[in-house]
Amino acid sequence: MNPAGELMVSSEQRVYDVVMKRAALVRKQLKSMGKPDVIVPGALLNEAYDRCGEICAEYAKTFYLGTLLMTPERQRAIWAIYVWCRRTDELVDGPNASHIAPTALDRWDSRLEDLFRGRPYDMLDGALSDTVSKFPIDIQPFRDMIEGMRMDLKKSRYKNFDELYLYCYYVAGTVGIMSVPVMGIAPDSSTTIESIYSSALALGIANQLTNILRDVGEDARRGRIYLPQDELAWAGLCDDDIFAGKVTERWRNFMKSQIKRARMFFREAEKGVTDLNPASRWPIWASLLIYQQILDEIEANNYDNFTKRAYVSKAKKIVALPLAYARSVV
C-alpha cells in the first residue's frame, strides 16, 4: 500500500503480466504467421549470419558454446538476436557511450520498427529481420530492452530489489522472451506456454543477477552500483564500501544472500527447460549449468568480486556438457 492507501503492484508482478501477454500473443502467431518476407540476397544473408556467429564467439564464449549444440537454423537465429542485443547494449556501455543521447535510442527504436517490417538498415539488421520473419517473435521484448538502455543513461543506483528486478527484466529477461519462439516447445509438452515463458524470464533474471555479482568492481569503477541499496544498508554497508573494494565479513555475508537469490531464479528457470523442443534442451541446459558456475567461482574467490573476475575455465565447461546432455534426455 502507498501512503494514500492504494494497492501498489510490484515490478515482479508487472513484468509477469507483460510476459503472460507476450506468451498469449505467441500462441496466436503460431497458428498464423503473417510477417513480410525479407528481401536480402542469399549470399549476403549467409554472410550476415556468419558474421553474427563470429561476434557471438568473440564476446560471449560461454553462450556461443551452447549455441554450437543447436540445429543450424536455431543457431543462426540466436546469433542474430544476440548481436542485436549486444549492439543495443553498446549504445550505453560501448566506447562511444559518453556521447550517446536519449535521442539516439529513439532512432534505434525507429530502426527496430523498420527491421520488423522487413526493411533492414545493414547486414546485421538483415540477419535479425530474416529471423523474425521465420519465427513467431514479438517486437515488444526488443522495445523493452531499449527501455532498459534508457534506464542505464539516467540511473546508477537501485533503492531496492523491486527496482533492480525491473532493470534485470529490461536488459536480460527480455532475451529469454525473445528466444523461446526460436527454441520451440516440445510437441508432447503438457505444460502451458505461459509456464515456459515464466521459466525463460527467470533464466534471464538469473543470468543478469549473476552478471551483476561478477562485475561489482568493474561497475563501481564506472560509478555504477547495481545492488539493492536497502539490502546494503541492512548488511551495514554503503556505496563507500563498494568503492573501497574491501572484502570484509559484512561483505561476504551480503554476497551470500545475493548468490542465494540468483540460484533461486536458476532453479525456477530449470522447470521450463524440459518442456522445450528436444533439439534445444541440451544447449540450454549447458548454458544454464555453466553460467551457474560463475557463482561458484565468486565463492571460490572468497567473495572478492572487486579485484578478481570470476570465470569458468574451459575444462569445467567441457565437463559440464555430458551432464547437460544427461539432463536434456531424462
Which residue from 317, 47, 39 is spatially nearest to 55, judged by alpha carbons?
A: 47
Sequence ranges of the chain with CATH classification 1.10.600.10 = 38-154, 156-329
Phi then psi dihedrals of residue 185, to 5 deg? -115, 140
- For residue 267, the model assigns a pLDDT of 95
264's CB contacts (< 8 A; 6+ apart) are: none
What's the grid cell of residue 116? 520488423
CA distance 52 to 66: 15
Spatial contact of 85 and 63, defined as CB atoms under 8 Å apart: no
Q: What is the pLDDT along the chain (330 residues), one digit of tens a residue?
A: 555 544 456 778 878 776 776 666 666 655 544 555 555 556 788 999 999 999 999 988 877 888 888 889 999 999 999 999 999 998 887 666 566 677 889 999 999 999 999 999 999 999 999 999 999 899 999 999 999 999 988 899 999 999 999 999 999 999 999 999 999 988 888 888 888 999 999 999 999 999 999 999 999 999 999 999 999 999 999 999 999 999 999 999 999 999 999 999 999 999 999 899 888 898 899 989 999 999 999 999 999 999 999 999 989 988 998 999 999 887
User: Would you say 201 and 15 are in contact if contact means Cβ atoms under 8 Å apart?
Assistant: yes
Q: Angle, nearest 10°, between helix axes 249-273 and 278-300?
A: 170
Report pLDDT for 35: 54
Nearest alpha carbon to residue 136 among 246, 27, 2, 5? 27
- Report the candidate in 158, 262, 261 with the shortest Cα–Cα distance to residue 207: 262
pLDDT tens digits along 93-150: 766 656 667 788 999 999 999 999 999 999 999 999 999 999 989 999 999 999 999 9
Residue 228: strand pairing partners: 158
Tell me the CA distances in angstroms from 56 to 27, 49, 239, one per residue in order: 29, 11, 34
Instruction: Give the pLDDT confidence score for residue 44 in this predicted structure.
Output: 86
Cβ 89 vs Cβ 97: under 8 Å: no
Query: What CATH topology corresponds to 156-329?
Result: Farnesyl Diphosphate Synthase (1.10.600)
Contact assessment for residue 235 and residue 253, using Cβ atoms and an 8 Å cutoff = yes
Other beta carbons within 10 angstroms of residue 13's beta carbon come to 11
Tell me the C-alpha distance between 176 and 38, whole Å.
Answer: 24
**38-154 CATH fold:** Farnesyl Diphosphate Synthase (1.10.600)
Rounded distance between C-alpha atoms, residue 121 and residue 138, angstroms? 19
Residue 108: helix, strand or coil by DSSP? Answer: helix
pLDDT score, position 212: 97
User: Cα separation of 308 and 302, whole Å?
Assistant: 10
